[in-house]
Amino acid sequence: MKYAIKQFFRLLFYSTLFWSFAFCFFILIRYYGRHQEQVNRIQLSTAISVSEYLWFGVILGVMVALVFTIIEFLFDKFLSKALHLGFIILFKSIIYLLFLIFSLTFIAFLAEDYINVDFPNQRGWWITNRIFWLVTAYFIICSLIFSFFQLANDKFGKGVIVNMLFGNYRKPREVYRIFMFLDLKSSTTHAEKLGNIKYSNLIQDCFFYLNRIVKKHNAEIYQYVGDEAVLSWKLTKGMNRADCINLFFDFEKNLRRHSKYYSKKYDLVPEFKAGIHAGEIVIAEVGTVKKDLAYHGDVINTTARIQQQCNDYNESLLMSEELLDILEFTRFYKSELIDNVILKGKIKEYKIYAVRKTY
């Protein structure tokens, strides 16, 4: 709950900045083109400075940001799984249209009192008013831009899209990353028991709850491979409060919390296993038709091999010594050396540690 509130106010903060700037920019364009515009045949007063007009942009931006944040937050948290994308877009469009009618009418009343201009605000004024539809089109474009950066940050991580736009990943770059390979236990058995469609629904349900906690623990989802998810952290983010470990046990807790749902729908409660490792890895843009960011290097392969050892040692979470040496454990976790293992395809031995929760 605490994280959800924090997430809401973070979104509200960025929305307020974005929409205030967007509408101030719109008003600037309208202001400097005012000599070509008339409002009910009354020319806008030139005695009022541009800064005074911009206050209307800030007011409208704050109003839009508040409603935009509430709607996006509620739909994301409570309705994204229950409704199809088409219904979500339709419902949001209706809500935003009604809000624009209300907010622009309110701004028109304020402007009339402040600058003595007879703006159209009678009932149904918006139906034939071209300024209203111009603002609506502008709102749609700005919403798409805001959503684009949100989706880009969710997919690639915060700030990465800016680097991509400037071509900073055209040449491979070496970075230090923590990786986790998260895989469903007994996946073959579950797939045979449930069949393709029901098994796919199970994976969707599991990853739905995973996505709910990814941002909370500062993780980025690199990719999904079947019933496996690959997550990564920047070193400082993953080490902060041992978030790379917290995510796994938080995910387990979410699955147990919904155990009745899984038992009723699938006649099983899903369990996951994970391997974690850290090191230097190369990041680069790949592809031309479907451009993406890809990680290349030994860290990926080693992490996958560590996760595969979970079955051999009957453990849920295994970690490399390289990561253990730089990670500060909280009192909630303990580690235990499992073995010196020569991983598949490797020559040197790796010290593998099991990570367990202290209850």
CATH number at residue 319: 3.30.70.1230
Cα distances (angstroms) measured from residue 164 to each of 23, 109, 146, 171, 285: 27, 44, 17, 11, 8
Task: Name the band, by pLDDT with cuts 50, 70 and 90, for residue 37.
Answer: low
CB 270 within 8 A of CB 252: no
Task: Name the band, by pLDDT with cuts 50, 70 and 90, for residue 128.
Answer: confident
Domain that holds residue 143: 2-156
- 190 and 110 within one domain: no
**Helices 130-156 and 85-115 meet at what angle, rounded to 10?**
130
Q: What is the chain's mean pLDDT, rounded?
A: 82
Q: Higher model confidence: residue 182 or residue 298?
A: 182
- 146 and 132 within one domain: yes
Q: Is the pLDDT of residue 198 over 90?
A: yes
- 130 and 214 within one domain: no
- 177 and 73 within one domain: no
Instruction: Write down which residue in 156, 191, 220 finishes a domain.
Output: 156
Cα distances (angstroms) measured from residue 237 to each of 31, 97, 131, 302, 324: 45, 39, 46, 21, 15
The predicted-structure confidence for 199-215, as pLDDT tens digits, reads as follows 999 999 999 889 888 88
In sequence order, what DSSP letters do the residues of 83-132 get, joined into one string? S-HHHHHHHHHHHHHHHHHHHHHHHHHHHHHHH------STTHHHH-HHH
The number of folded domains in the chain is 2
Q: Higher model confidence: residue 317 or residue 83?
A: 317
- Tell me the residue ranges of DSSP E strands in the chain: 173-184, 220-225, 228-234, 272-286, 292-296, 317-320, 333-341, 350-357
Q: How many CA atoms lie within 13 A of 293 on its CB side?
A: 23
- 337 and 240 within one domain: yes
Q: Is the pLDDT of residue 278 over 90?
A: yes
Question: What whole-number distance in Å separates Cα of residue 218 and Cα of residue 215?
Answer: 5
Q: What is the pLDDT of residue 40?
A: 46
- 284 and 185 within one domain: yes
Q: What is the pLDDT of residue 203?
A: 94
Q: What is the pLDDT of residue 43?
A: 45
- 221 and 258 within one domain: yes
Q: What is the pLDDT of residue 303?
A: 92
Instruction: Write down which residue in 139, 156, 173 finishes a domain.
Output: 156
Length of the chain: 359
- 165 and 139 within one domain: no
Most confident residue range from 92-96, 120-124, 165-169: 92-96
Q: What is the pLDDT of residue 129?
A: 77
Most confident residue range from 43-57, 70-84, 191-205, 328-342: 191-205
- 116 and 248 within one domain: no
**End-to-end Cα distance, the chain:** 22
Instruction: Write down which residue in 131, 156, 181 finishes a domain.
Output: 156
The predicted-structure confidence for 41-61, as pLDDT tens digits, reads as follows 444 444 556 776 788 788 888
Question: What whole-number distance in Å separates Cα of residue 64 and Cα of residue 70?
Answer: 10
- 6 and 81 within one domain: yes
Number of continuous H segments (helices) and E segments (strands) in the chain:
13, 8
Average pLDDT of the residues in 243-252? 93
- 146 and 207 within one domain: no
The predicted-structure confidence for 81-95, as pLDDT tens digits, reads as follows 666 667 777 888 888
- 148 and 190 within one domain: no
Type of residue numbered 93: S
Question: What whole-number distance in Å separates Cα of residue 145 and Cα of residue 9?
Answer: 20
Q: Is the pLDDT of residue 163 over 80?
A: no
